[in-house]
Amino acid sequence: MSTTLTRGRALLATAIIAALAAFGLSVATATPAKAAITTNTWFTVTSAHSGLALDIQNASTTAGALLNQYTPNQCTCQQFRFVSVGGGYYKIEARHSGQVLEVYEWNAADGATIAQWTDLGGTNQQWSVTEHADGTFSFINRFSGKALDLWEWSTSAGARISQYTYNGLNAQKWRLAAVPASGEPTVSNPLRDNGADPWIEYWDGYYYMSTTTWDSTVTMRRATTLNGLKTAADSVVWNDSGTASRCCSHWAPEFHRIGGTWYLMYTSGNSQTNFDGQKLHVLRSTSSTPMGPYEFMGTPLPNQWNIDGSYLELNGSLYLMWSEWVGADQSIRIAAMSNPWTVTGSHVTISQPTYNWEVQGGRTNEAPAVLQHNGRTFVTFSASSCNTPDYKLGLLELTGSNPLSASSWTKTATPVLQQGGGVFGPGHNGFFTSPDGTEEWLVYHGNTTSSQGCGSTRQTRVQPITWNANGTPNFGTPLPSGVVIAAPSGE
């Protein structure tokens, strides 16, 4: 699609601006921004629905070139900054051309074209900013009062961007990712294909990563940079092929440094096709690194089906958290431990699927992961069936004093990470800290289409965590594939 422009169009726009200013009028005035936005920073702006980036068509520098969406590709035609014009309004400037986004030809109708044009100071070139609880933004044009909109919810590269009456839905929600400065270390998703149930730790100059293998082995890779994990070689750190009771279907490896020693916990069973024998098993590293070599220590819960184990350390005590069937519900449970491979005392259920968003395709709570921040203890878990695009993350917080009491845990009523940004079924996560210890990062898996399920299509993905004013974690929406962001602090 192309547009033919003449000098008369610029003269017409100038005349309209002058006329409106003379009478103090505009077609509509949107409510000013609910939250300020960072200025003088270049951003990639991606759709919360499609995961594709705002893009000036064909990287054109011509006034009137159309705004569309396209696969993120680091082109400066996909980089924009916000310039304040006062009163809570901003110009949105395209980096490659220096021109600003506008409602083309002062068209106030739903579906009107959005294009770039020389900055003329018109209200059709000014936008207010609304920030949503999930960390996304909506942009409302001052002239028309309508929101920047992904037309007809398209997921196709090259689809048009328009304006439409504000509704706050995902077609009008956009995610901002700051463009790293030249020479700054970067990372982009995915980190690896066939990367279900990922776990990452940073230790002594290296990132270590392990994911589900589906076979008899536990593998690990390491790299000095997070992005380097994409190409690092996998090393087999454990092989159960000769042990019938745990030979097969290895899932969800996690490695934790407890008391100065690395322990690796994984799920496996006695069959590649029948998962009724799946149980947790624990290894101990005989070296100072997560790469091992490892020795087998034990099976913490040998008499029941149990998967997705993780550790909670609190006030000098150690606890095991896992997922198990309790009646019709796959639930999150906890028990005290005397050491990293031995459970003692009672088993307590602290979360079962109760909300509608936890029962899509199956009544599922699984994959607990601990996040501790400023003296508070949170536990994420994955809800609904992984066979659906509705697999997602929920959040528990320890609000009481006794982690072995169900009443001490409070569940957030809404999910904290769900499909968006072109990522479906995001879940089974872990957490890791940046090299300098100043940032917390999220690692999780997700699919690229809604029809993919619990298999090898799931990719390992990462993104930084921010913190809400009330002290709870904000995971935002899944970071779209290909969007380049600054690597963890300290690289």
| pLDDT tens column, 380-427 | 999 999 999 999 999 999 999 999 999 999 999 999 999 999 999 999
Q: Which residues pair with 227 in a beta bridge?
A: none
Average of pLDDT values for 324-329? 98
The predicted pLDDT at position 134 comes to 87
Whether the per-residue pLDDT at 55 is higher than 70: the answer is: yes
As a whole number of angstroms, the distance between CA 486 and CA 484 comes to 7
What type of residue sits at position 284? R
Residues 254 and 369 in one domain: yes
Is the predicted pLDDT of residue 77 greater than 60, yes or no? Answer: yes
Written as one string, the DSSP assignment of 2-15 is -----HHHHHHHHH
> Would you state the structure tokens that stand for residue 475, as one six-digit string?
């995971």
Structural domain span for residue 86: 7-178
Considering the entire predicted model, what is its pTM? 0.89
- Of residues 3 and 321, more confidence is placed in 321
Give residue-wise pLDDT tens across range 445-473.
999 999 999 999 999 999 999 999 999 99
* pLDDT (0 to 100) of residue 36: 82
Taking only the tens place, the pLDDT of each residue in 13-46 is 344 434 433 333 334 433 434 568 999 999 999 9
CB 237 within 8 A of CB 291: yes
Percent of the chain exceeding pLDDT 70 equals 93
Same domain, 102 and 216: no
Q: Looking at the structure, do residues 461 and 351 belong to the same domain, yes or no?
A: yes
Please determine, for residue 435, whether its predicted confidence score (pLDDT) is greater than 70: yes
Q: Please report whether residue 38 resides in a domain.
A: yes
Same domain, 215 and 152: no
Average pLDDT (55-84) is 97
For residue 29, the model assigns a pLDDT of 38
Decide which of 143, 178, 213 is a domain's last residue: 178
Identify whether 491 is part of a domain. no
For 19, the enclosing helix (H) or strand (E) is: helix 7-23
The DSSP 8-state label assigned to residue 30 in this structure reads P
DSSP 234: P
Q: Are 434 and 489 in contact (CB under 8 A)?
A: yes
State the total domains in the chain.
2
Compute the average pLDDT of residues 121-125.
98
- 197 catalytic, yes or no? yes
Is 102 one of the catalytic residues? Answer: no
Mean pLDDT score across all residues of the chain: 93
Cα–Cα distance, 158 to 330 (Å, whole number): 42
What pLDDT, on a 0 to 100 scale, did the predictor assign at position 133? 86
Which residues lie across from 398 on neighbouring strands? 409
Domain boundary residue, one of 178, 197, 216: 178
Residue % of the chain over a pLDDT of 90: 91
Residues 221-260: pLDDT tens digits?
999 999 999 999 999 999 999 999 999 999 999 999 999 9
64 and 118 fall within a common domain? yes
Give the pLDDT of residue 35.
66
pLDDT at site 34 = 52
What whole-number distance in Å separates Cα of residue 294 and Cα of residue 296? 7
Q: Can you tell me the mean pLDDT for 133-161?
A: 96
Beta carbons within 10 angstroms of residue 167's beta carbon: 11
Asked if 113 and 248 sit in the same domain, the reply is no
3-state secondary structure of 58: helix
Contacts of 380 (CB under 8 A, 6+ apart): 367, 368, 369, 371, 393, 394, 395, 396, 416, 429
Q: Which of 162, 178, 194 is the last residue of a domain?
A: 178
Q: What's the rounded Cα separation, in Å, for the pair 92 and 98?
A: 10
Q: Do 49 and 117 belong together in one domain?
A: yes
In a shared domain, residues 106 and 145? yes
Residue 1 lies in a domain: no
CATH of the domain at 376: 2.115.10.20
Is 443:431 a contact under the CB 8 Å cutoff?
A: yes
Question: Is 3 exposed, middle or buried (CB count within 10 Å of its CB: 0-12, 13-18, 19+)?
Answer: middle
Note whether 242 and 142 are same-domain residues: no
Q: Mean pLDDT, to the nearest integer, of 322-335?
A: 98
SS3 content of the chain, % helix, strand, coil (to 5): 10, 45, 45
**Quick check: is 2 in a domain?**
no
Pick from 122, 126, 154, 132: nearest CA to 52: 154
> Is 409 inside a domain boundary?
yes
Q: Which one of the listed residues 102, 197, 324, 397 is annotated catalytic?
A: 197
Task: Flag whether 55 is in a domain.
Answer: yes
Work out the burial of residue 178: count CB atoms within 10 Å of its CB; fewer than 13 is exposed, 13-18 middle, 19 or more buried: middle
The alpha carbon dihedral of 369, 373, 377, 381 has a sign of negative
Element (H, E) at 464: strand 459-464
Kind and range of the H or E run holding 323 = strand 317-326
User: Which among 102, 308, 358, 366 is annotated as catalytic?
Assistant: 366
The closest alpha carbon to 409, from 304, 477, 319, 345, belongs to 319
Judged against a pLDDT cut of 60, whether residue 204 lies above it is answered with: yes
Verify that 212 and 145 share a domain, yes or no: no
What's the pLDDT score for residue 30? 39
Model pLDDT, residue 5: 34
221 secondary structure, DSSP code: E
